[in-house]
Amino acid sequence: MADWQVVAGGVTAPKGFQAAGIAANLKPSGAPDLVLIVSESDAIAAGVFTKSQVRAACVDYCRQRLEAKPNARAILCNAGQANACTGAQGWQDGLDSAAAAAKALGISAGQVLIASTGVIGQRIRMEALQAGIPKLIEQLSPQGSAAAARAIVTTDLVAKSIALEAEIGGRPVRVGGIAKGSGMIHPNMATMLCFVTCDAAVSPPLWQDMLRRAADRSFNQITVDGDTSTNDCILALANGESRTPAITAPGPDADRLETLLSQVCIHLAKSVARDGEGATCLFEVTVTGAASDAAARQVARTIAGSSLVKSALFGRDPNWGRLAAAAGRAGVPFEQDNLRIQLGDILLMENGQPLPFDRVAASQYLQQQADHSTHAMTQQIKAGSADAAAALAQPVQVTLSLGMGAGQGTAWGCDLSYDYVKINAEYTT
């Protein structure tokens, strides 16, 4: 049973954080496009960044900043222009953005982390950004998370947010997060971003390690189209305002905090997968019996990312052959005679050979999960609610066992629909 609970408030749920999101005329549409998250006190900061060789200025900036000194007071994020492939001028724009926010906040420029999302090859509209900063700071509030979550989205259908609370050292600790992303990348209107806040006190290397592992379990386990953005980043601040004892070494308290952080990341990652371009359902693949957790995750990821599996899912086709074939090409050795595949409660394959099963019932299971998920998404879009939990509650579940060891892992994806092709074929800047 989970020893944590969901609380309201997103990134402002943890103590000592404020946030704001406003429309600053960066997006041509006039939608909200500028976000600030501020910790009232100096926070430990960790980051996980895109591994792409083609990276936005903000990614290189934050990585260098955090390598030099793992702390920060604020995260400034603009939507509309990705500031990737913008050369030396783009780099300078990044520095200027951080400096402008820092000056207005009365802190040093090095204390501001930056993130951008939007059209690749376009510089940030610096005049609009600089004009927006005073208004943004005016709007900062301990209830500002929902506005921030709405202002970082681009093609997302719903904003993505969560906060969790658990007791650590006898006192409540909270971790909150917001994220955006609708394909793993849409390079002209791009990017997966996630900002996490936490009020625990934790040592910088421990916090960075936790974030890396949490990302491996969550954002690195989702796929919409197999593409990686130039701007992907996760930034996580921990400010110690919960006044719990500092966590400086591995142990039960560190484990509890890492669980909290992982659950926040997993919820947000699943929200991104469910909001994948054109998706009609969330797809959850669990692999057990692998030689290691890493091997299990790799097989799960390969299946979740297979175009043929994703197309079958859209067609509500319980196609075990495609699941077996995707597992086989994942680059993980296993004995095919031990393979076992289950869809929901229905066993499709055992000992590497197909079983007779009720095709109609299996297809109905796929349809029913998709219907539930679509209904919940529609309700959220109507309500403008940032809580995607209902749409995540009934994923299509596939379970594979490799019969080799105790390794297990889960990956999330979505189906491949006509709308994915439509969105990406007909999209122009």
Among 25, 188, 367, 397, binds a copy of itself (CB under 8 A): 188
CB of 191 to a copy of itself, least distance (A): 10
Q: For residue 369, give the H/E element and its range.
A: helix 359-383
At closest approach, how far in Å is the CB of 427 from a copy of itself? Answer: 7
Which x/- pattern, by CB under 8 A, does the window 325-344 give for a copy of itself? xxxxxxxxxxxxx-x-----
- Rounded CA separation 309/292 (Å): 24
Q: Per-residue contact track with a copy of itself, 102 to 121, x per CB under 8 A?
A: -----------------xxx
Interface with a copy of itself, residue 226, by CB under 8 A: yes
Which of 1, 2, 68, 425 binds a copy of itself (CB under 8 A)? It is: 425
CA angle 384, 191, 22 (to 5 degrees): 45
170 class by beta-carbon count within 10 Å (0-12 exposed, 13-18 middle, 19+ buried): exposed
Residue 233 CB, shortest distance to a copy of itself, in Å, is: 14
Is residue 160 a contact partner of residue 275, using CB atoms and an 8 Å limit?
yes
Is 191 annotated as contributing to ligand binding?
Answer: yes
128 binds a copy of itself (CB under 8 A): no
Coil vs helix vs strand at 236: strand
Q: Which stretch binds a copy of itself (CB under 8 A): 53-61, 245-253, 262-270, 281-289?
A: 53-61
Q: Which is nearer to a copy of itself, 294 or 421 (CB)?
A: 421
From 415, 370, 375, select the one nearest 394 (Cα to Cα).
370
> Please, which residues have CB within 8 angstroms of residue 314's CB and are 6 or more apart in sequence?
280, 415, 416, 417
How many C-beta atoms lie closer than 10 Å to residue 294's C-beta?
A: 12
Distance CA 236, CA 207 (A): 9
Q: Tokens in use for 72? A: 């920060």
- Least distance in angstroms from the C-beta of 232 to a copy of itself: 10
Q: Which stretch binds a copy of itself (CB under 8 A): 2-10, 82-90, 161-169, 285-293?
A: 82-90
Nearer to a copy of itself, 319 or 397 (CB): 319
The answer to whether 101 and 76 have CB atoms below 8 angstroms apart is yes
218 is an interface residue for a copy of itself by CB under 8 A = no
For residues 85 to 104, the per-residue mask of contacts with a copy of itself, x marking binding by CB under 8 A and - elsewhere, is: xxx-----------------
- Interaction of residue 421 with a copy of itself, rule CB under 8 A: yes
286 is in an annotated binding site: no
311 interacts with a copy of itself by CB under 8 A: yes
Q: Are 106 and 54 in contact, with CB atoms under 8 Å apart?
A: no
Classify burial at 281, counting beta carbons within 10 Å of its beta carbon; exposed 0-12, middle 13-18, buried 19 or more.
buried
| Catalytic residue (one of 191, 230, 244, 259) | 191
Say how far apart CA 209 and CA 192 lie, in whole Å: 20
Q: Is 422 annotated as a binding residue?
A: no
The first and second tokens of residue 317, run together, are: 């086709």
Select the residue interacting with a copy of itself from 288, 306, 399, 401 (CB under 8 A).
Answer: 306
Backbone dihedral angles phi then psi of residue 91, each to the nearest 5 degrees:
-60, -45
191 part of the active site: yes
Q: Work out whether 229 is an interface residue with a copy of itself (CB under 8 A).
A: yes
Cβ 285 vs Cβ 238: under 8 Å = no
| Residue 277 counted as an annotated binding residue | yes
- At 250, the amino acid letter reads P
86 is an annotated ligand-binding site residue: no
Residue numbers annotated as active site: 191
User: Applying CB under 8 A, which residues contact a copy of itself?
Assistant: 50-55, 85-87, 119-121, 183, 185-188, 190, 225-230, 305-308, 311-312, 314-315, 317, 319-322, 324-337, 339, 349, 351-354, 416-418, 420-428
